[in-house]
Amino acid sequence: MIKTNVSEIFSKYGLEVRFAEFEKVKIKETEKNYRTVFLTYIPYFYEPEDGQNLCRYAALEDYHKYVPQKLSEIKNELEKEYPKNIFDIFADNSPINEKHAAEISGLGIRGRNSLIITEKHGSFVFLGEIITDLEVVCEENKPSVCSGCGACEKACPAGALNGGRCDVTKCISALTQKKGELTEAEKASIIKNGMIWGCDRCQEVCPMNKDLKESEYSKNTVKLKTLTAKDLEGLTDKEFRKKYSDRAFTWRGISTLKRNIELIENQKS
């Protein structure tokens, strides 16, 4: 009965939901007596423009803000339905292993690029959850993987994918966020990919991401698809963070982006 009620509330807002026992997916101890995770996702796929130098998620409104906003409406309804229980929202910075929770709850499967792939929206999704002390009987799915075609591994510009694992020391998405000096090999990877923040290549070639439609989230947010040296010229770090406060890339500060832009623009000149 509880599962049905919760599923209907999530469905009302256009979201799928799956359930996992908190104790089986937690990675941090908490003071609260959490019992159950209500796991969901927000799709964000759209077709990029030529010359886009920000990966898809970075070009959109910061999901760390958007996902909690979306889930807050659901939280309000849950609190009305179950007034004696607590319901806390998380997105990324969570006391659970979100990918493992997605696997065992049946929300998605693990790709060879280490990303979660959902049936309806592929891997272009943001995970989010509401964690509660409400006890729900959870069916545990055996973690499953994709077909293993290897397209993502072959397409990775930096050779960061191997055997279903991602070497973050090579991953271009991680390199574009790395502070300080880069090695010549790291610089070459960023230049080869042409992105100043992030990388979507492994997702673009995945057959499970074929024929995806633009998400509602993407349609309803203003996209910032490119950043140039001119856009950042004269800005202090504080001014940069304020100007782009609604974007996920601001947490690293202006210097990292300036470095990446300089690498790529110098290569073109």
Q: Which helix H or strand E contains 236, and what residues bound it?
A: none
Round to whole Å and give the CA distance between 95 and 131: 9
Residues paired with residue 162 on neighbouring β-strands, in sequence order: 165
Round to whole Å and give the CA distance between 37 and 83: 17
Q: Residue 53: which of 235, 229, 244, 254 has the closest Cα?
A: 229
Quick one: how far is CA 110 from the chain centroid? Answer: 14
Quick one: how far is CA 70 from the chain centroid? Answer: 15
Q: Which helix H or strand E contains 40, and what residues bound it?
A: strand 36-43
Round to whole Å and give the CA distance between 122 and 210: 8
Q: Which of 50, 62, 88, 92 is catalytic?
A: 92
Q: Are strands 109-110 and 87-90 parallel, antiparallel or unpaired?
A: unpaired
Confirm whether 50 is a catalytic residue. Answer: no
Round to whole Å and give the CA distance between 81 and 18: 18
Q: Residue 38: which of 11, 65, 66, 69 has the closest Cα?
A: 11
Positions annotated as catalytic residues are 92
